[in-house]
Amino acid sequence: MATIREEIEQREMHLLSEYATLAAKSRGREINEDPDPIRTCFMVDRDRVVHSKSFRRLKHKTQVFIAPPGDHYRTRLTHTLEVNQIAKTIGAGLNLNVDLIEAMALAHDVGHTPFAHAGEQILNELVAGGFRHNENSIRVLTRVEQHKGRSGLNLSKEVLDGVLHHSGYGASEDQAYTLEGQVIRLSDKIAYVQHDIDDSIRAGLLSLKQVPRDYLDILGYTHSKRIATLVTDVINNTRKLLQESDNPRVEPSYEVEWALRGLRKYMFENIYEGSVCQAERTRAMFVIEHLFNYYIKNPDKMTPLYHKIADEEGLERAVVDYISGMSDAYCISVFQDIYIPQSLVPNAQKTSAAYCTEIG
């Protein structure tokens, strides 16, 4: 009698596109495991990511603006959820494997540093061989996270490939070998360009009137309209390409991609590399650089997992793993504990309060 997982795999074979990645034909895991009786391999991967510590920490990691006031600005976690929503819609429109898409989407940014690209930039300068968040996501998923008493989550090779290739937007860059992975790469750009415009307007750093009309005329003048235009166009254009070409790929039409790239370039020049973000970035880089130097000199202050990594792979590697996994708030808290003067006198706060009462 077939298991529920086998029934799901059979449905995939009969219902999904010929270009979809089938769970039953996965390239497998680094370490072989017995199949789950209920879930396909990609469903298992999704669940492992959701239950990981690195995924939970995304809620306190910066997307663009560091520790902004208010509850409505994106964090790295809400960005991840928006990528997931966009990618699953595109995947459904192309009849691809949405379980694989979801596993990739939820995992793609677990290697991001505190303070977003500011953290990535300073670690890239400090570390021999450089630092890239997409590669660090693979590091987190295969080495730092712990599962069933061993290092790494042992995810499917398709998921890891999609995570590795989600970053960048150059025509010459390698792409994921699955169409699902290509959907993630494009969905990441759709999500962050549009929601960062929304957050920049909310922060008073940008008004819609400042955004070039040439791009808005094509994509739309509201957040939801731009996403709808991009998602619809990607689905329609890719379906057309799949019918006309033996080299399947996920792409928007020329006009829509021109507008998306134009908006992305505009955001880099005016927001990501603008004066406000640059000021935040400078201070964040200062914090991370000092923590990096501190832990290089005081490795005993890290937790036992990173002592083990230091012994096996070198101290610098362990320090990078430790710092890159921190949330913004924890990173600031540790910096304050190490470098900001504070009273070490027992009951100092009570004594101070009593003194203030006396002199009052």
Domain ranges of the chain: 4-282
Residue-wise pLDDT for 292-329, tens only, equals: 999 999 999 999 999 999 999 999 999 999 999 999 99
Rounded Cα gap, residues 331 and 216, in angstroms? 38
What is the identity of the amino acid at 47?
A: D
* pTM metric for this prediction: 0.93
What is the identity of the amino acid at 198?
A: D
Q: How far is CA 143 from CA 135, 146, 304, in A?
A: 12, 7, 14
| In CATH, 4-282 is 3.20.20.370 | no
Residue recorded with tokens 């990501």: 272
Rounded Cα gap, residues 133 and 112, in angstroms? 5
Confidence band of 356 (pLDDT split at 50, 70, 90): very low
**Residue 150 DSSP label:** E
Q: Which two tokens stand for residue 321?
A: 């793993």
Asked if the model's pLDDT at residue 117 lies above 50, the reply is yes
Rounded Cα gap, residues 323 and 159, in angstroms? 25
Asked if the model's pLDDT at residue 355 lies above 50, the reply is no
Confidence band of 360 (pLDDT split at 50, 70, 90): very low
Q: Are the C-beta atoms of residues 242 and 179 closer than 8 Å to each other?
A: no
Burial class of residue 95, CB neighbours in 10 A (0-12, 13-18, 19+): middle
